[in-house]
Structure 1
């Protein structure tokens, strides 16, 4: 075994030449590799100086980069009119769950067919008559103070109820007046109530009786009136009340809301006709049935 010295590790060139000459397969591979590199250098042009964002000539993405530049079309001017709506994007908001919508539609169709297309009395009223329910935010007052105002406006036309609150001496009447005006505007805009005269609908004056039995004349069937008005109790707010000798009392201020249900005179006319029909169909009351007396005794049998 030869001694491993400096000469053995390839200090001179004789060891490398001897190794290459002893492996002819490696010599043939290296010769082909040199010939391939010389051929590629002769075929490729001289590299041009690279610009910012450009690729080098020997990059593997050079062909795609040059093709993309050549195939780039000319700039098309943007259309000036309104852009067409994307139905797929609109469906996400208009129909987010189509499966549930189809199930609901199927359920409604089955419900209509179950009674052979006949509607109940409540459904007919909902389709033919309009109503609007408005609930106010909590007001810093008590039920004892707000209740009389609710009873005062119940059953009156909306304009008359607003007039009553305008000239009322109660402090809470200012808030109730604002709530009535908001409820009137909401009923007109959202429900289309009170637009009979604006649409050219005129009717002959009709004498009816309201729920309290008072007579009244109706000239416009679309006139808005306050059918119901009630109050609701809210939470209490705490406020400090500073007293003498450093004492502090806690005041509990009540909060109350008022709800208003607005309807049209068509509803009041229908209720008047129903009460009248019920009163006309009422049977005559008799104290005892008219039948022969049998088995008379000294005691009563009834």
Structure 2
């Protein structure tokens, strides 16, 4: 939900939205947006007034396993889930209009290969950002019974 909330916004407006949001993840996302803005300014030499968020996607992360000690020397395994969020920061040109928020425009952005590559030490972008399924796609070969 937060990814859809800040997609297409200017960078300063997205940071302001996270500053006043009451959601738990908003503070972490605000800090990562500030970090992304700083790196875009110094490494890609972008103007902070023209920056906007072209894509913001949330995905599942890896699970960290921990031991759960129990009585009589037994133990269990706790799986702690993690998540990650990917941003595509873009610089608005003079005649360019920022990205809209409808699903069709976001789907067009996912198919393009013009995403900028961030050269930050310790950060490698191996996978594309996750995009939701197209809801207009017809169901081919539906099962004859319910699936629950």
TM-score (norm 2): 0.56
Q: Identify the structure with bigger relative contact order (alpha carbons < 8 Å, sequence gap 6+).
A: 2
Which residue of structure 1 aligns with residue 92 of structure 2?
265
Which residue of structure 2 aligns with residue 181 of structure 1?
34
Shift of 1:231: 2.2
Specify whether residues 271 and 231 from structure 1 end up closer, same or farther in structure 2 by C-alpha distance, changes over 3 A only: closer
Which structure has greater strand proportion? 2
Which residue of structure 2 aligns with residue 152 of structure 1?
5
Which structure has greater helix proportion? 1
Deviations 1:241-277 (A, max 9, x none): 34567653322111222111111222872689xxxxx
- Pairing 1:166–2:19 present: yes
Please report the RMSD computed on the Cα atoms of aligned residues, expressed in angstroms. 2.6
Specify whether residues 256 and 271 from structure 1 end up closer, same or farther in structure 2 by C-alpha distance, changes over 3 A only: closer
Q: How many residues align?
A: 99
Deviations 1:134-186 (A, max 9, x none): xxxxxxxxxxxxxx222221111111111121222222222111110011011
The structure whose Rg is larger is 1
Deviations 1:34-62 (A, max 9, x none): xxxxxxxxxxxxxxxxxxxxxxxxxxxxx
1:269 partner SS: coil
Q: 68, 89, 99: which one pairs with 1:241?
A: 68
Q: Flag structure 1 segments of 5+ consecutive residues without an equivalent.
A: 1-147, 196-221, 273-302
Q: How far apart are the structure 2 equivalents of 1:164 and 1:190? A: 25
Q: Flag structure 2 segments of 5+ consecutive residues without an equivalent.
A: 100-148
Which residue of structure 2 aligns with residue 114 of structure 1?
none
